[in-house]
Amino acid sequence: MDKKKPEYFSISDKAFDFEVPYRENLQRIGEAGFTHIHLSHGWTRSEALTEEACQRLEEDLHATGIQVLDVHGCHPKNTNTWSSAKEARENAIRLLRHRLQVTKRLGGDAMVYHVPWNVEMSAHIVDLFIEGLKQVEEDARELGLSIALENHYRGESDRQALEAAFATFDESYIGFTFDPGHALISGNTEWILSHCAPRLQILHLNDNDTRKDLHWNPYEEAGQADWSAIEDFVRKSHYRKPIQLEVQWRQDLHPTHEAFLRSARASAGRFASAVRGL
């Protein structure tokens, strides 16, 4: 009898207890049953990760056996490819190129980048966004990586940016990151489920109350996500990577970090069972 392949699970390092060292957090997620992380470390900083920081991450990953599944791109305040100031846009491109190098170095296959969410959408903003992606396309292709665009808080911004990117670039370069928590806030879930499955490359599974980006575990009792529809969306896509959560520890729901991680792993397993019949 053929044995089933083992199932692997991933969780964002946003789920860490930031009062303890990175390596201890990796140990904790491993003990909870996670095999991979989505690396977000440093994603809000305007400076690139230092060589020392990259070496320390490599050492911590090697020591714990946890692997990097994919990586979050950088979005420091007012520093995005669609920023109004040329200097900010140039810095955003520099960080994009650096983060692609980090992704390759640490073993990831794709990098998240947000669609514009902090400005009123216009044709000019879309053009800046697309131009930024063009500037780093050669870098990504040479590294064998893709950029997976993440839906955010504004439904119209999602639709305009994603439609333009999907029309401009093929799926070998530009994919999609699904964040159901963001979709609850934007009211854009139905459109995403109808249009983005062919590009799905990264999962940021989480839930909330439709008002705040709370990063609850999937299937949380007070959550509002339609998990049956989301399961169907992933099932019909080409997504075959480990099921991945982007959740955060909240002591009002889980008194200890370890209890939170056990709950997170259970929800990831439940989702995998629904999608893959495990």
Element (H, E) at 199: none
**Structural domain count of the chain:** 1
- CA dist list (Å): 1 to 4, 236, 264: 9, 28, 31
Is 194 part of a structural domain of the chain? yes
For 252, the domain range is 9-276
The pLDDT of residue 6: 75
Is 70 part of a structural domain of the chain? yes
Question: Has residue 143 got a pLDDT over 80?
Answer: yes
Question: Has residue 100 got a pLDDT over 60?
Answer: yes
Is 63 part of a structural domain of the chain? yes
Q: What is the pLDDT of residues 237-260, one digit of tens each?
A: 999 999 999 999 999 999 999 999
Is 2 part of a structural domain of the chain? no
Q: Which of 119, 43, 48, 116 is nearest to 81 (CA)?
A: 116
Is 1 part of a structural domain of the chain? no
Whole-prediction pTM value? Answer: 0.96
Q: How far apart are CA 131 and CA 234, in angstroms?
A: 30
Mean per-residue pLDDT for 28-43? Answer: 98
Q: What is the pLDDT of residues 193-214, one digit of tens each?
A: 999 999 999 999 999 999 999 9
The pLDDT of residue 7: 87
- Whether residue 217 contacts residue 263, with contact meaning beta carbons closer than 8 Å, is answered with yes
Is 4 part of a structural domain of the chain? no
Q: How far apart are CA 126 and CA 129, in angstroms?
A: 5
The pLDDT of residue 1: 38
- What angle (nearest 5°) sits at the alpha carbon of residue 140, between those of residues 245 and 182? 30
3-class SS shares of the chain: helix, strand, coil, % to 5: 45, 15, 40
Q: How many helices (H) and strands (E) are present in the chain, helices listed first?
A: 9, 8
Length of the chain: 278
Q: What is the pLDDT of residues 46-73, one digit of tens each?
A: 999 999 999 999 999 999 999 999 999 9
Q: Which of 9, 10, 12 is nearest to 246 (CA)?
A: 12
Q: How far apart are CA 96 and CA 89, in angstroms?
A: 10
Is 265 part of a structural domain of the chain? yes
Q: State the CB neighbour count (10 A cutoff) for residue 7.
A: 15
Give the CATH number of the domain where residue 160 resides.
3.20.20.150
According to DSSP, residue 223 is labeled -
- Whether residue 29 contacts residue 64, with contact meaning beta carbons closer than 8 Å, is answered with no
Is 191 part of a structural domain of the chain? yes
Which is more confidently placed, 57 or 278?
57
Question: Has residue 278 got a pLDDT over 80?
Answer: no
Question: Has residue 135 got a pLDDT over 90?
Answer: yes
- Whether residue 276 contacts residue 240, with contact meaning beta carbons closer than 8 Å, is answered with no
Tokens of 245: 């959560």
